[in-house]
Amino acid sequence: ILNESAKAAGFTNTAAMWNSPFDLSTRDTPPEINIMNEVQNVQNKLMPLYKELHTYIRHYLPVLYPNATDITSDGPIPGHLLKSYNGDDWSAFYDTAKPFDELEDIESEIMKALHGQNMTVKGMFTKAYRYFKYLGFEKAPSSIWSKSIFTRVWSRSMICNPSTAIDMNDDNDYRIKTCEILGIKGFKQAHKLLFDMYYQFESKDQPLLLHDAPNPSFKTALSNAISIASGNIDYLKSLNLLPENYSISENSKINSLFKEAIEDFVKLPMYLVADLFRQEVFEGTLSPEEWNEEWWRLRSNLQGIKSPLKDEKKDNDVLVNTYVTQKHSPAVRYIISYVIQFQILRALCPDTPSNMLFNGCVLDKNIMNKIEIIMKEGATIDYLTALEMITGDRQFDATPMIEYFSPLYEWLKKYNEENGLYIGWDGKGEKFKESQLPKLGAIQTGVTRNEIGNEEKIAYPGQDCSKGEECLLDSICNGTRCICGEGLFTLEVAGTYSCVKGNPSDAGFGNGSDGLLIGLFEQPSSSPTTLPPSTSSKSHEEETTESATKKSNDCFKNNFSFTFLFFLISYYLF
């Protein structure tokens, strides 16, 4: 059916129609490039890094799955052991296999700074907006701030995904819809989404059908490059989100790249497998009886993954792959986007050393002016022309991506060589030697995992610090307990202490010691007393009436007290 639709549109088959936005062909003009050949050439250049990563993950599997008998030291990995549906996401291995258990954490530093500045999610977007204004972009439409959703509203049902910038095509009405949270990820996403909005906004003078980027892959690549640059250490320092003396360690650098590689980079071969298989089906060169065999041949050659079971021709494992059966679009668009984002990043950061490209750079106004010109063109130019205007080249180039991951690549090569691991999956099927297997109880720093994050060495406001515990959350140790530092006030909420800058007792319900008590507490029980004998007797009706009146008054007092307490809490918190 898909082929019939493609032929009706003037293409030879569905694969040709799907590839047309990327090879720049139409029903009347031939392709400018052979997109599948270009993508395969890029994949071949990236294969050394993929093989090193594959080798590293593979040598953890016998330790994690001691009862598995089909794991070899030099062969493909059984697909079901990779903890993801398609075997293309290895992020579940991060905590187990990350190269270093590094105590230094940029995420916690930035979170601490955001809290210290009383930053909100919308505040992160305003910081990103100021950056774009500094770079020379126009004033954003007011609808961005009045009609956008930046974070989840818990009082209503919301569909958060996908996060997107929206052109309402209605008199300068642009919006952002996302559910971000405070942190470095949300901060970088704020830059990405604002840039997406600006792409739509800058191209508003073009005809309606030519608004936005030449194709989604180019726009995603460009906004991702901006997102990487927004995480630059110097840029974050300029916003007081990192201390001036902060520097990222080599161990943290490798961990960060490792995490990105097992989340995103390892997907690239799967994308290629999906489209190579579908191309054969659409071209009619592959019969249904050959589907399963060809599917696993491609996966073995390109991914280093094999079927968990002995293949039979009657099986059709390909039908459960989401890229093949659920997404009626070319998967190579993700490869194109991922590759050219690093080409664009290299063009944005021409002076950044290769081993620091992962850190991005502080963007230059002159370079961004060039980007803005491309954005104003909208889809009136093709994506290769736009790429050439930025990078000076119309060709896909894997070199910047290799530069980006070079610290991780060098570390993997050294580690795999020192441990005598076989690179690739075309060996004789030999088992691992005991000396080749990692020891999960120890880490590269020589510190055992259960020592890291030991909460006996830290204390929070109000807790004991007499044994040398470090006081957190702006508190200091007075020799016995953590107390709030000079100029700070104590806020106690349901038995939990925090240090705040303003005097919380100004909001009411002070505890008499420059603090504020919020919570429901049991009334202390008074000692029983003996009532004097009654001097007058009352009828049952009188007693009932008085009892009802007393209960009514007590209920009114309790309701009034609770309402008043709720009002004060809301006033103080919101």
Residue 201 in tokens: 């906004």
Please report, for residues 221, 340, 404, 503, the alpha-carbon distance to residue 229 in angstroms, rounded to integers and kept in the order given: 12, 15, 12, 39
Task: State how far the Cα of 214 lies from the Cα of 385, in Å rounded to an integer.
Answer: 10
Helix (H) or strand (E) holding 327: none
Rounded to whole angstroms, the Cα distance separating 257 from 493 reads: 40
Four-residue CA torsion sign, 346, 352, 353, 355: negative
Q: Which of 317, 282, 241 is nearest to 80 (CA)?
A: 317
Q: Round to whole Å and give the CA distance between 432 and 514.
A: 65
For residue 88, count other CB atoms closer than 10 A to its CB. 23
Per the document, the length of the chain is: 574
Q: How far is the CA of 203 from the CAs of 169, 170, 211, in angstroms?
A: 12, 14, 5
Nearest to 344 by CA among 220, 527, 159: 220
- Three-class secondary structure of residue 78 per DSSP: strand
In the numeric block, the tokens 């502080």 are attached to: 362
- Is residue 180 within 8 A of residue 150, CB to CB? The reply is yes
- Beta carbons within 8 Å of 326's beta carbon, 6+ residues apart: none
3-class SS at 355?
Answer: helix
Give the whole-angstrom CA distance, residue 411 versus residue 418.
Answer: 11
Burial class of residue 13 (count of CB atoms within 10 Å of its CB; 0-12, 13-18, 19+): middle
Listed residue (417, 432, 449) closest to 62, CA to CA: 432
Give the CA angle between residues 122, 123, 125 to the nearest 5°: 65
| CA atoms of 263 and 455, how far apart (whole Å) | 30
Q: Is 333 annotated as a binding residue?
A: yes
State how far the Cα of 178 lies from the Cα of 168, in Å rounded to an integer: 16
| Binding site listing | 333
| Binding site listing for chloride | 333
